[in-house]
């Protein structure tokens, strides 16, 4: 409004700041913070997957190669790579991670550059990440209850997938990509980081109790 009582059209046409349109969202679910979250988890998962691929290729060339995470009989990427579970689809599982985490990183970089994705894109990303999480849960169960050997770099991928899966789901709930009652959305938003922490503790506890006797020699 000017001194003469007329509307200042130049100000009225200015875009509303992004932060002003996202005040109802949890901090991590806002555009830029969530893009950073995607970037961090994507890079961690991609690097771990890349190391696993390089180690697997070296083992193809030299079956006697000792991988960089062959720490003891219970923590050995090399022994895990010798199981059928490590090539479920006929090729090394980490190749899936290379492609999948590259998509996450690309999404993050595009978002940080100002790109805005439609709901269909976030729904598709949700499907892909959820499928990846299911696969990781299966690999976790195989490592603990079938193979009985841990893969250090695989566990790094697990660590990246936990916040990626939970926080993406909560983000999509908060943005309405996943239809849900308002009460559930509020609960998920308020307890998102707590759910991430609980999952980390549960996974760590499962590894500790499963391998307690092996690690302690009892």
Asked if residue 16 has pLDDT above 60, the reply is: no
Asked if residue 4 has pLDDT above 80, the reply is: no
Taking phi over 0 as left and psi of -120 to 50 as alpha, with beta for the rest, 90 belongs to left
Model pLDDT, residue 212: 84
Q: Can you give the residue ranges of every domain in the chain?
A: 26-174+190-216
Q: What is the 3-state secondary structure (H, E, C) of the chain?
A: CCCCCCCCHHHHCCCCCHHHHCCCCCHHHCHHHHHHHHHHHHHHHHHHHHHHHHHHHHHHHCCCCCCCCCCECCECHHHHHCCHHHHCCCCCCHHHHHHHHHHHHHHHHHHHCCCCCCHHHHHHHHHHHHHHHHHHHHHHHHHHHHHCCECHHHHHHHHHHHHHHHHHHHHHHHCCCCCCCHHHHHHHHHHHHHHHHHHHHHHHHHHHHHHHHHHHCC
Asked if residue 111 has pLDDT above 60, the reply is: yes
The token pair at 188 is 């998920």
Tell me how far CA of residue 47 lies from CA of 92, 111, 203, in angstroms.
15, 21, 21
* Number of Cα atoms under 13 Å in the Cβ half of residue 11: 5
Cα 176 to the center of its chain, rounded Å: 20
Average pLDDT over residues 95-104: 97
**Nearest-angstrom CA–CA distance, 130 and 117:** 19
Model pLDDT, residue 12: 43
Candidate CATH numbers 1.20.1440.130, 1.20.210.10, 1.20.1070.10, 2.40.160.210; the one for domain 26-174+190-216: 1.20.1440.130
189 near 170, Cβ under 8 Å? yes
**pLDDT tens column, 164-193:** 999 999 999 999 999 999 999 999 999 999
Asked if residue 25 has pLDDT above 90, the reply is: no
pLDDT band at 3 (very low <50, low <70, confident <90, very high): very low
Asked if residue 77 has pLDDT above 60, the reply is: yes
Average pLDDT over residues 182-208: 95
The token pair at 103 is 């998509």
Average pLDDT over residues 26-33: 91
Provide, rounded to the nearest whole percent, the portion of the chain with pLDDT above 90.
78
**pLDDT tens column, 154-167:** 999 999 999 999 99
Model pLDDT, residue 72: 87
Model pLDDT, residue 174: 94
């Amino acid at each position: 409004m000017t001194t003469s009582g007329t509307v200042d059209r130049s100000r009225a046409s200015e875009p509303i700041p992004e932060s002003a349109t996202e005040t109802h969202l949890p901090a991590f679910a806002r555009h830029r913070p969530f893009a950073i979250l995607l970037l961090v988890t994507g890079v961690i998962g991609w690097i771990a997957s890349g190391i696993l691929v390089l180690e697997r290729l070296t083992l193809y060339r030299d079956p006697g190669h000792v991988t960089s995470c062959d720490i003891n009989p219970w923590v050995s990427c090399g022994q895990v790579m010798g199981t059928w579970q490590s090539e479920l689809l006929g090729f090394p599982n980490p190749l899936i991670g290379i492609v999948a985490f590259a998509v996450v990183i690309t999404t993050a970089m595009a978002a940080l550059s100002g790109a805005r994705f439609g709901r269909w894109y976030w729904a598709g990303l949700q499907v892909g990440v959820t499928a990846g999480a299911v696969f990781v849960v299966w690999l976790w169960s195989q490592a603990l209850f079938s193979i009985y050997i841990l893969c250090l770099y695989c566990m790094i991928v697990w660590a990246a997938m936990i916040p990626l899966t939970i926080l993406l789901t909560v983000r999509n709930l908060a943005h309405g990509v996943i239809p849900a009652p308002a009460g559930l959305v509020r609960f998920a938003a308020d307890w998102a980081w707590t759910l991430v922490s609980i999952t980390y503790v549960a996974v760590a506890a499962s590894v500790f109790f499963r391998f307690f006797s092996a690690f302690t020699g009892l």
